[in-house]
């Protein structure tokens, strides 16, 4: 037998079949994998950012719903012993350490019921403008609940949460007052 060749009885020398792959085939396979990875990583990171943004918008909406539920629960006031004035306030603050939402009763910011922070890579606009401190109040009982914005009445409060690196990627939390037969509502858009 000659090296690399196999002899069949009654026939000429036939080359052995190759096993494995050549260097060119390996390089082509690796280049295809690199191209697929180059396309997939930006798509995945964009999906991840949008997912975090949606989760934070949903959390902020739940925060307003929680304030509303506390306001509608008479037992909440007996537990916190804050008097007859039934109202809760949500204060939104933004600064170097991110955006924070704080819930407290009856205008007493020293009595914090709950607090949460948005992702540090996110910013917030309230009713179309950038603000550092904003307070929204919820008072009254259904169907006469009232929303106040920085101490004054407002019909709709729109909180636009967006990425600091790309303001075109955003989610909005819309809080609508109980006016003209329309009940108080909180939604994520």
At 130 the pLDDT is 87
> Which strands, in side-by-side order, build the sheet including 170-176?
122-126, 156-163, 170-176, 185-188
The residue written with tokens 């009940």 in the block is 183
At 54 the pLDDT is 92
From first to last of the 189 residues of the chain, give the pLDDT tens digit: 455 555 555 556 666 666 778 889 999 999 999 999 999 998 898 888 888 899 999 999 999 999 888 888 767 655 565 555 668 889 999 888 889 999 988 777 788 888 989 888 889 999 888 888 999 988 877 777 888 888 788 888 999 999 888 888 899 999 988 776 667 888 898
Fold of 55-188: minor pseudopilin epsh fold (3.55.40)
At 41 the pLDDT is 92
The CA distance from 92 to 122, in Å, is: 13
At 37 the pLDDT is 94
At 94 the pLDDT is 87
- Write out the two tokens for 101: 């939402």
Paired with 161 in beta bridges are 124, 171
Omega before 83 cis (within 30°)?
no
- Write out the two tokens for 124: 């917030």
At 39 the pLDDT is 93
Whole-model pTM?
0.74
């Amino acid at each position: 037998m000659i090296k690399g060749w196999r002899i069949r009885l009654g026939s000429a020398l036939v080359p052995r079949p190759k096993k494995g792959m050549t260097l060119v085939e390996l390089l082509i396979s690796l280049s295809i994998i690199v191209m697929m990875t180059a396309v997939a990583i930006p798509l995945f990171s964009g999906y991840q950012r949008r997912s975090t943004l949606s989760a934070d918008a949903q959390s902020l909406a739940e925060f307003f719903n929680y304030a509303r539920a506390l306001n509608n629960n008479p037992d909440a006031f007996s537990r916190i012993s804050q008097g007859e004035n039934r109202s809760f306030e949500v204060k939104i603050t933004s600064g170097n350490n991110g955006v924070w939402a704080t819930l407290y009763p009856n205008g007493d910011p020293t009595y914090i019921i709950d607090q949460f922070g948005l992702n540090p890579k996110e910013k917030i606009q309230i009713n179309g403008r950038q603000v550092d401190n904003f307070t929204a109040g919820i008072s009254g009982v259904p169907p006469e609940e009232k929303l106040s914005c920085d101490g004054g009445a407002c019909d709709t409060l729109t909180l636009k949460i967006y990425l600091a690196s790309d303001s075109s990627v955003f989610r909005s939390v819309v809080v609508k007052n109980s006016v003209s037969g329309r009940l108080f509502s909180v939604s994520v858009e």
